[in-house]
Amino acid sequence: MEPRTADFRTIAREILRLARLLPVPLTLYVLGAATAYSFVDWTFGDVFTWFETLVLLADGYLVYVLTFLLMAEAGLFADGKRGGFLAFLLVSIVSGMLIVLGTLALIIPGLILFARWCPAVCDVLVRNEGVTDALGRSWDATSASMIALLPHAILAMCGYTAVSLLELLPDRMLGIAPLGFVFIANVVGAMSVAWGVLLSVATYRLLMTPLPDHASGDGAGYAPANGAGQSPA
């Protein structure tokens, strides 16, 4: 079967539509994550501590919950089995490490991997058939829409770059990054994560699930929220 296609505007509209479904959880995530990371950065600086490890794990779980809630609200869960947090975390770690390596190598490979693998975390929640299968299905499904996905991937990656600049420039100029700069940097970083979650769910819905009968050609409309009564735990 030929892969479905979606252009840049269709993906952008779907991202905005998803954001309107859960504006409060998305906002709370951005503010909560920015506050937690700002506290860690301001209190411990460059020293890696167990507390930072806990913050990282908590952040990963919140991203999982946010992904689950968006998918459930959009009606993307079938009645069958689905993966849990560990499956989500494993796909995120494997794909994330390869994306980082690709970005460090030549930048472009990292962007391509990000764009092609972004719906994999959603696929593993629905199918729970392993990391390799999730990444493979994601790669195949996004093959015809890679050019449209790349600007969205660039936008997310630019957010991570802005975090580094906002934290490093004041530190180099003033000797220490003011708390305000640290918080703004972490807000930008959390917004990049939220954008990545929205992009993952939007891409999965547009390219990897059958459209409901009442949907229009550009992916408008939602199926009944099959997963609305489920728990992310």
Of 231, 227, 233, the closest CA to residue 21 belongs to 227
What's the pTM value of the predicted model, to 2 decimals?
0.86
Residue indicated by tokens 């997963």: 227
Q: How high is the pLDDT of residue 182?
A: 80
Residues of the chain above pLDDT 90, percent: 55
User: What is the distance of C-alpha 211 from the center of its chain?
Assistant: 22
Q: How high is the pLDDT of residue 212?
A: 57
Of 111, 97, 120, the closest CA to residue 155 belongs to 111
Report domain extents, the chain.
24-208
Q: Which residues of the chain have pLDDT under 50?
A: 214-226
Q: How high is the pLDDT of residue 209?
A: 86
Phi, psi dihedrals of residue 77, rounded to the nearest 5°: -95, 130
Of 2, 4, 5, 15, the closest CA to residue 147 belongs to 5
Q: How high is the pLDDT of residue 26?
A: 97
Q: Helices 120-127 and 85-106, interaxial angle, to 10°? A: 160
Q: How high is the pLDDT of residue 181?
A: 76
Task: Give the tens place of pLDDT for each residue, 132-185.
Answer: 999 999 999 999 999 999 999 998 888 777 766 666 665 555 555 677 778 888
